[in-house]
Amino acid sequence: MELAVQHETRYDYTAPVSLAHHLAHLQPLHDEHQQLLDFALDIDPPPGQQRDSVDDQGNVQRHFSLAQPHTRLCVRATSRVRVQPRFGALQPRAAPAWDAVAAQLRYVALAPFVPQVEFALPSPYVPRLRELRDFAAPSFRPGRPVAEAAIELMQRIHAGFRYESRSTDIDTPLLRVMEQRRGVCQDFAHLMAGMLRMYGLPARYVSGYLLTQAPEGGATMLGADASHAWVQVWCPGTPGLPADGWLDLDPTNDLVPGSGHVRVAVGRDYGDVTPLRGVIRGGGRHTLTVGVGLRPLDAAPDAGPAAC
């Protein structure tokens, strides 16, 4: 499936910004199962300096600076992506046992380093919490296949938590989300990553986009009108997975992603892959407006987001 994506972010400031440095994660990933056919990033006002770099996870980052006074910043990312289903042949019950996978990551003197261990450790937005381990416990019986256990955990998070737009913000502690049993997609991604990590399993946070109507079955998706988030769990040696062993799971919608999910970046948590962040001098108070539009290329274009 070929998809057109438009992501617009606008900041309006009550006082002029005299200097700004920003970092954007807005360019979709390009690999065997997701081909980036076209990408453009338009910034208004035009930056004085900008450059691209690639981090250690393969995410493309745009760095840009503005030295002229401005009271508005508008960033529009336009992408064209071809997405192919990756998990149609998945065999969850043929995955290795979750406790055997976790054992591979324990420290042993002089043993080879396993890079996935980075994603089994706590991170700024995903601390270690006993409550996370307790919730996940029924899914992780000793010897159970890791993919099967992770899929059941995804289903239990979907059933046990309510999606409620604007019920949290990025600074809402994960423990608060556990207590109130509601949140948004980034909360559910952080919850699931934290639960997997409490059992020693690597879990990555994925930022991206989601079609409003799922191509596989046509169900209406939650979290589709903005940037979306889900997780990847490491299941090495599982039949039907890519060679790197990462399995994508979307607890917000209780599904294994098909061709309606567009991956933009992967990291430990939201802080690693924030779509747009920066530091500014001046600006006073600000208003943030974000609009995301995603459609199949054979569908008629609509008015699109109106952030700018």
Q: In total, how many domains does the chain have?
A: 2
- CATH classification of the domain holding 282: 2.60.40.2250
- Range name among 8-22, 264-278, 292-306 with the lowest pLDDT average: 292-306
Interacting residues of 100 by C-beta distance below 8 A, sequence separation 6+: none
Do 283 and 245 reside in the same domain of the chain?
no
- Range name among 37-51, 200-214, 278-292 with the lowest pLDDT average: 200-214
Q: What angle do CA 22, 8, 49 make, to 5 degrees?
A: 30
Do 250 and 145 reside in the same domain of the chain?
yes
Do 122 and 165 reside in the same domain of the chain?
yes
Do 117 and 152 reside in the same domain of the chain?
yes
Tens-digit pLDDT profile for residues 106-147: 888 888 889 999 999 999 999 999 999 999 999 999 999 999
pLDDT at 196: 98
- Cα separation, 53 vs 59, in Å, equals 8
- CATH classification of the domain holding 260: 3.10.620.30
On whether the CB atoms of residues 72 and 305 are closer than 8 A, the answer is no
Do 10 and 61 reside in the same domain of the chain?
yes
**What pTM was computed for the model?**
0.92
Categorize the per-residue pLDDT at 303 as very low, low, confident or very high, splitting at 50, 70 and 90.
Answer: very low
In a domain, 304, yes or no: no
Strands of the chain, DSSP E: 2-24, 34-44, 49-54, 60-66, 70-83, 162-163, 182-183, 203-210, 228-234, 246-249, 261-267, 276-282, 286-296
pLDDT at 218: 56
Do 97 and 187 reside in the same domain of the chain?
yes
Which residue range(s) make up the domain with 57?
Answer: 2-83+272-296
Given a cut of 90, whether residue 181 has pLDDT beyond it is yes
- Range name among 78-87, 101-110, 142-151, 181-190 with the lowest pLDDT average: 101-110
- Range name among 30-34, 78-82, 224-228, 273-277 with the lowest pLDDT average: 224-228
Do 22 and 138 reside in the same domain of the chain?
no
Q: What is the mean pLDDT of the chain?
A: 92
Q: What is the CA radius of gyration of the chain?
A: 20
Do 259 and 284 reside in the same domain of the chain?
no
Residue 26 DSSP symbol? -
In a domain, 247, yes or no: yes
Interacting residues of 91 by C-beta distance below 8 A, sequence separation 6+: 147, 238, 239, 240
In a domain, 286, yes or no: yes
pLDDT at 305: 43
In a domain, 208, yes or no: yes
Residue range 251-257: mean pLDDT, rounded: 95
pLDDT at 225: 54
- Cα separation, 136 vs 151, in Å, equals 11
In a domain, 306, yes or no: no
Do 47 and 141 reside in the same domain of the chain?
no
Categorize the per-residue pLDDT at 301 as very low, low, confident or very high, splitting at 50, 70 and 90.
Answer: low
- Alpha carbons within 13 A on the beta-carbon side of 277: 9
Residue range 16-25: mean pLDDT, rounded: 98
Percent of the chain with pLDDT over 90: 83
- Alpha carbons within 13 A on the beta-carbon side of 87: 22
pLDDT at 304: 44
Tens-digit pLDDT profile for residues 198-249: 999 999 999 999 987 666 555 555 555 568 999 999 999 999 999 999 999 9
In a domain, 137, yes or no: yes
On whether the CB atoms of residues 248 and 231 are closer than 8 A, the answer is yes
More confident call, 214 vs 158:
158
Do 152 and 237 reside in the same domain of the chain?
yes
In a domain, 305, yes or no: no
Do 252 and 291 reside in the same domain of the chain?
no
Do 99 and 237 reside in the same domain of the chain?
yes
